Amino acid sequence: MTIMMIMLMPITKIMTTTTKLLLSGLLTLGCTLPALAQPEVTSEAAPEIAADPAPEATPAETFADDALMEALPSLPLFNPFNSPFQQQNFVPDISLILDASAGGRSLDNAAYGTLPVPLSLHGQPDLHHAMNTRNGFNFNYAELTMSAPVDPYIDLFTTFHLSPYEFEIEEAYFNTRALPWNLQLKSGKFLSHFGRINPQHAHFWSFNDQPLINQAFFGNHGLNELSLRLNWLAPLDFYLDLGLELLQGENRASFGTQGFTSGDYSLAEVNGPTLWVATAKTSLDLDDNLVLLGGVSYAQGGLRFVADAEAGGDLHVHQVTAAEAFENLAGSSRILGLDLSLRWFIDSYRELSWQSEWLWRQLDGSHYHHGARDPFSLNQSGLYSQLIWRFDQQWRTGLRADLITQDSLNTLPGAPLPGRGSAMLEYNPTEFTRFRLQYNLDYSRQLGPDRPLLHEVFLQFNLAMGAHGAHEF
């Protein structure tokens, strides 16, 4: 064994010397190639500059310098990580938001599911995308968002809605950012910019649930469809944004495109787009710490209401003043919205904000039932007003009032206006974590001529991770 080791020692030295010479040659080649790529400079173009000849280094001196060996991978010729096409340059911003709650209400789950929804044509509540649907624990939703610039001209944004039973696209659209004359084009599936609440995702709301009027007119999903939007930012001293949207018109709460048959009447499905929305939004600085925001929104489109069992139950309207419920409706729908907000920044951490929104809906057309066709007209309106006080860096509290101001469908003559009152207390340990306790006193539901008081208490948990873009001011 000793003899073999003695014989192998020269071979090992030869291999080590050869390896060092190869590395030295590669290093010399890496330093020489960039110089060879430069154009040759003649004596006529530039005078020669004399330089002291560099001392010739021995291989031992060259490889004794450990710093030189460490610098070898950083040379451009040998560093593949300097490529502009490396993967990390193309990874989008990714975030995940989880929302859950725990609590209960003064009715059991079965009784709550039978309560008619105020202002709704469908009567019973749609539990899809609804918040706090059950007593006890609720997995409300998870939101997976990815966004990135595609190129210097277009940004792409996607949001996926996750639940224990489904994975669906909530929003997927692109925005331009290089159009002339302060124009911007937005196209894809997205939340309409109608009003103040509708464009916002649920985790940006100041309360656990939507206002009654928004839920009744647009549903739990909001006005969210395949759309095309063009908006113009006016070149003024104050903020003024004017927008025009063209939507498919499939929203079942106020519009729709379904076909149906009733007796001898047969109406085919309407091919969209059938809905358009116009918006005007502004902002004024009344003071250094006081900001006023306002907006006007208008939506108009076709109406198709089909009474079916799509949600697994009876979707007929439970009317108090009529002997029978709606079966099928066809006509037109118009919705007008006004919103106003006032924000007072007391200091770096404290803020007082007031926000209100009023919506009015008019439905006109024909009611098809039992093979007959009768004229139909309906006017409804309502509002919400909320006051939010951020009294500490991590704490907020607020009050909200929901009020139904007009409902020729369900409101009894001389009866008090139905509505709901809400109070919340919120704690944000960090910008990624929220705990919100909310109480609702709901007197908007109807069971016959009586309005039972519905008490609700829920503790909401909202957690976020990853890079999530900023929301509207």
Tens digits of residue pLDDT in 313-357: 333 333 333 334 577 899 999 999 999 999 999 998 999 999 999
DSSP of 367-427: EEETTEEEEEEEEEEEEEEEEEEE-SSSEEEEEEEEEEEEETTTPPTTPPPPEEEEEEEEE
Question: What per-residue confidence (pLDDT) applies to 240?
Answer: 96
Q: Taking residues 432-451, what's their average pLDDT?
A: 82
pLDDT reported for residue 312: 35
Q: Which residue has the higher pLDDT, 74 or 170?
A: 170
Q: Which residues pair with 187 in a beta bridge?
A: 174, 228
Q: Name the residue with tokens 């989880």.
A: 98
CB of 420 within 8 A of CB of 378?
no
Q: Is residue 308 part of a domain?
A: yes
Does residue 38 lie within any of the structural domains?
A: no
DSSP-assigned letters across all residues of 297-325: EEEEEEEEEE---TTSS------SSSSS-
The C-alpha atoms of residue 327 and residue 445 are separated, in whole angstroms, by: 22
Among 175, 192, 191, residue whose Cα is nearest residue 183? 175
Chain CA centroid to CA 374, Å:
41
* 34 class by beta-carbon count within 10 Å (0-12 exposed, 13-18 middle, 19+ buried): exposed
Instruction: Cis check for the bond before 273: say yes or no (omega within 30 of 0).
Output: yes
**CB proximity list for 361: less than 8 A, separation 6 or greater:** 119, 217, 254, 333, 334, 335, 378, 379, 380, 381
pTM of this prediction exceeds 0.85: no
pLDDT at 42: 45
Whether residue 75 is contained in a domain is answered as no
For 194-216, the DSSP string reads: -SSSTTS-GGGSSSSS--HHHHH
Nearest-CA neighbor of 328 among 361, 290, 296, 369?
369
| Structural domains of the chain, count | 1
pLDDT of residue 324: 42
Please, what is the average pLDDT of the chain?
81
Tokens of 216: 């009744």
- Least confident piece of the model among 49-63, 116-130, 140-154, 386-400: 49-63
* CATH code for position 461: 2.40.160
User: Is 22 contained in some domain?
Assistant: no
Q: What share of the chain is helix, strand, coil (3-state, %, to 5)?
A: 15, 45, 40
Q: Residues 345-370: what's their mean pLDDT?
A: 93
Residues with Cβ within 8 Å of 249's Cβ and at least 6 positions away in sequence, in order, are 225, 255, 256, 257, 270, 272, 273, 274, 275, 301, 302
Q: Reduce the DSSP state of residue 263 to 3 states and report it.
A: coil
| Residue-level pLDDT at 470 | 67
pLDDT of 209 above 90: yes
Least confident interval from 155-159, 269-273, 405-409: 405-409
By percentage, how much of the chain surpasses pLDDT 90?
Answer: 52
Backbone angles phi, psi at 90, to 5 degrees: -120, 5
Q: Is 84 a domain residue?
A: no
404 falls within a domain: yes
Give the number of other CB atoms < 10 A from CB of residue 397. 17
Q: Residue type for 207, please?
A: F
Domain residues for 437?
109-138+180-466
CA end-to-end distance (rounded Å), the chain: 80
Within a domain: 70: no
Per-residue pLDDT at 44: 45
SS3 for 346?
A: coil
pLDDT at 305: 87
Long-range Cβ contacts of 411-418 (<8 Å, 24+ apart): 412/320, 412/321, 412/449, 415/449, 418/118, 418/443, 418/444, 418/445, 418/446, 418/451
Which burial class, exposed, middle or buried, applies to 110 when counting CB atoms under 10 A from its CB (0-12, 13-18, 19+)? exposed
- Using alpha carbons, select from 112, 119, 173, 187 the residue that is nearest to residue 454: 112
Asked whether residue 42 is domain-assigned, the answer is no
| For range 47-76, the mean pLDDT | 51
Distance between CA 454 and CA 446 in Å, rounded? 11
Residue 306 φ then ψ, to 5°: -120, 120
Q: What average pLDDT does this structure show over 279-293?
A: 95
8 A C-beta contact, residue 268 and residue 259: yes
Among candidates 394, 459, 398, which has minimal Cα distance to 432?
Answer: 394
Question: Positive or negative CA dihedral for 204, 454, 108, 458?
Answer: positive
